[in-house]
Structure 1
């Protein structure tokens, strides 16, 4: 049996907030991933069971490989419908902030979120939450925000009333945030949750194919190009990094999601501890998006914090540099040198 995720006081506050609210918004961070979209859709399904009419608002485009999930067609994109989204935010009674711990992680949507008078509930598994909310449910030990949403619905004795429209996005978010259950997923509770989700008739194999076997030919050729031509292996530091410029992204007709999982691949090299991806933002000049992955106890989140204006989890983190790609490479080399003693 699962241990309760909410204290009695937290449960009471959450239930009161939901009961007293009519205009409910659920939102997530920019560049939404499977956990962000999955937790929003899962919690929205629970809200519908409670008789509410929730609206999911996301800051920008989410990848094609997530658009199969039920109710994605109801999602409102802030970057495409800014005025409408601002009005919805301003008129909300309650806003759920899912899978992010600071408003700045919503980028252009942050001002609207901060100015909204609605009471806010944070449900998140990232370290160091920093938002003004009526209720903060922060559990960094959980594998994903989707796991947290499941546990909340389970504790509120409502899981039996949920359908596959709840189970599918929750499973997808748990799967993607653990790389297909290959990291941060050793807790027996995770597999108990999976067993319960499967009772709702979801096809976990099809979900896997939808996410991981649903890319374009260009994506596959991009992977080959990066691994053969761009990968820099720093053997002395048991690390690797690669760059991806705007020109290269245009060459391979890059679309959002095409770089998903690419930063993990160098970790297949025996003995490697750290992998870093440096990708030029195609929409903003002099912005380099940074992804970091590590294995074992090496804290890539500390590297992200110290050198890349970011953070995250022990083995999966991200950041952003406001500079050109050449300068980003030099910063990466300095980062590797700085952490040499723990990488060697």
Structure 2
């Protein structure tokens, strides 16, 4: 059975289709520090809307990671930080603004005023928890879906646009689905994902080549940085079933760090037997970037929301810390016992009672 939409979602999709049919200029936006799902969904939708002869601009708050260059259309994107004039013109002429892979305007940072001050109508398509639908004219939100790309495919199908999906658009969708599930290794038990994957392969997508480009291609500096991080900067807390990796700005600079070089690093400690969740903290110019991953039922989204002003999904979440890297690490260590009691021991007790 294919993905079902409720009545409200069907009305939203119908409204989106009608608006697009009466539009000439479209802006597609995604969240700050766009990942593969954000870029894949944005570029797939752009490709399809351009096939409808519409003027489409994909806008990001900042520069996407260089490791996503394999995604078709990557070089057509207009980052606000690099192309402010182009972004300004795009929003001034926009009829519809698509908001993909984010559930509230705080996720787009300095791009938020461009969206709120535009006269264009706004359509959100997203899979994150607790969406703020009040700021959108239409919202299609399904947190149970593994990625926005997966959800977008279902929206495209319902909209009647599937015949406009060529190989490049299909590749964008596949890239987003693969990156948001770490190549279908977590949050990947939704049957619809595999029906979509089959359909994308039938379009000609080379999943093997995508895997190599997205997950198995590294520069020498990147490999040395990740090796250093694991061998010298990884702390394991066996009793808390946790691990932490931290990297200072000086350490990043030593290995000529470029954006995307630490992509996937946070997942590495989860290969250690007994480690249920892992955190990676990277020193940025004026804050500490926090990423967390987990296996099983451990909710890193709750941990990030409570302590690091962020959120995400049960097994993949992130946030920020405004202070020193040492203080961020100390905060993480201070909550280990409480996390173990609330999320690990209680879960074990429940399983014994079943």
Give the TM-score category using the shorter length: over 0.9
Q: Tell me what 1:67 maps to.
A: 69
Q: Tell me what 2:185 maps to.
A: 182
Could you say what secondary structure the match of 1:54 adopts? strand
1:303 aligns with 2:300: no
Q: Tell me what 1:204 maps to.
A: 207
Q: Tell me what 2:348 maps to.
A: none
The 8 Å contact of residues 6 and 152 in structure 1, kept in 2 or not, is answered as no
- Return the alpha-carbon distance in structure 1 between the equivalents of residues 39 and 109 of structure 2: 16
- Return the alpha-carbon distance in structure 2 between the equivalents of residues 32 and 300 of structure 1: 20
Q: Please report how far the alpha carbon of residue 205 of structure 1 lies from its aligned counterpart in structure 2 after TM superposition.
A: 0.5
Q: Tell me what 1:125 maps to.
A: 127
- Return the alpha-carbon distance in structure 1 between the equivalents of residues 248 and 191 of structure 2: 41
Q: Please report how far the alpha carbon of residue 335 of structure 1 lies from its aligned counterpart in structure 2 after TM superposition.
A: 2.2
Could you say what secondary structure the match of 2:55 adopts? coil
Could you say what secondary structure the match of 1:304 adopts? helix
Q: Tell me what 1:334 maps to.
A: 334
Q: Please report how far the alpha carbon of residue 102 of structure 1 lies from its aligned counterpart in structure 2 after TM superposition.
A: 1.2
Residues 210 and 148 (structure 1), Cα distance of their counterparts in 2 relative to 1, 3 Å cut: same
Superposition map of 1:124-163 within 5 A: 124-131=126-133, 132-163=135-166
Q: Please report how far the alpha carbon of residue 30 of structure 1 lies from its aligned counterpart in structure 2 after TM superposition.
A: 0.9
Q: Tell me what 2:219 maps to.
A: 216
Could you say what secondary structure the match of 2:335 adopts? helix
Superposition map of 1:229-308 within 5 A: 229-281=232-284, 284-285=285-286, 287-308=287-308
- The answer to which of 231-240 and 85-94 deviates more is 85-94
Q: Please report how far the alpha carbon of residue 4 of structure 1 lies from its aligned counterpart in structure 2 after TM superposition.
A: 3.4
- Return the alpha-carbon distance in structure 1 between the equivalents of residues 154 and 29 of structure 2: 19
Superposition map of 1:84-95 within 5 A: 84-95=86-97
The two structures have a TM-score, normalised by structure 1, of 0.96
- Return the alpha-carbon distance in structure 2 between the equivalents of residues 100 and 142 of structure 1: 14
The 8 Å contact of residues 127 and 148 in structure 2, kept in 1 or not, is answered as yes
The 8 Å contact of residues 48 and 164 in structure 2, kept in 1 or not, is answered as no
- The answer to which of 127-136 and 165-174 deviates more is 127-136
The 8 Å contact of residues 64 and 257 in structure 1, kept in 2 or not, is answered as yes
Q: Please report how far the alpha carbon of residue 223 of structure 1 lies from its aligned counterpart in structure 2 after TM superposition.
A: 1.5
- Return the alpha-carbon distance in structure 1 between the equivalents of residues 4 and 225 of structure 2: 44
Could you say what secondary structure the match of 1:264 adopts? helix
Q: Please report how far the alpha carbon of residue 312 of structure 1 lies from its aligned counterpart in structure 2 after TM superposition.
A: 0.6
Q: Please report how far the alpha carbon of residue 6 of structure 1 lies from its aligned counterpart in structure 2 after TM superposition.
A: 6.1
Superposition map of 1:35-114 within 5 A: 35-114=37-116
Q: RMSD of the alignment, in Å?
A: 1.3
- Return the alpha-carbon distance in structure 2 between the equivalents of residues 169 and 14 of structure 1: 21
CA offsets 1:115-163 (integer angstroms, 9 cap, x no match)? 2221100000001111511101111000100001111111223323321
Could you say what secondary structure the match of 1:185 adopts? coil
- Return the alpha-carbon distance in structure 2 between the equivalents of residues 196 and 160 of structure 1: 12
The 8 Å contact of residues 99 and 123 in structure 1, kept in 2 or not, is answered as yes
- Aligned residues between the structures: 341
- Return the alpha-carbon distance in structure 1 between the equivalents of residues 335 and 153 of structure 2: 38
The 8 Å contact of residues 93 and 118 in structure 1, kept in 2 or not, is answered as yes
- Return the alpha-carbon distance in structure 1 between the equivalents of residues 291 and 164 of structure 2: 38
Structure 2 portions without partners, runs of 5+: 346-354
The two structures have a TM-score, normalised by structure 2, of 0.93
- The answer to which of 151-160 and 265-274 deviates more is 151-160
The 8 Å contact of residues 23 and 96 in structure 2, kept in 1 or not, is answered as yes
Could you say what secondary structure the match of 1:126 adopts? coil
Q: Tell me what 2:351 maps to.
A: none
The 8 Å contact of residues 5 and 152 in structure 1, kept in 2 or not, is answered as no
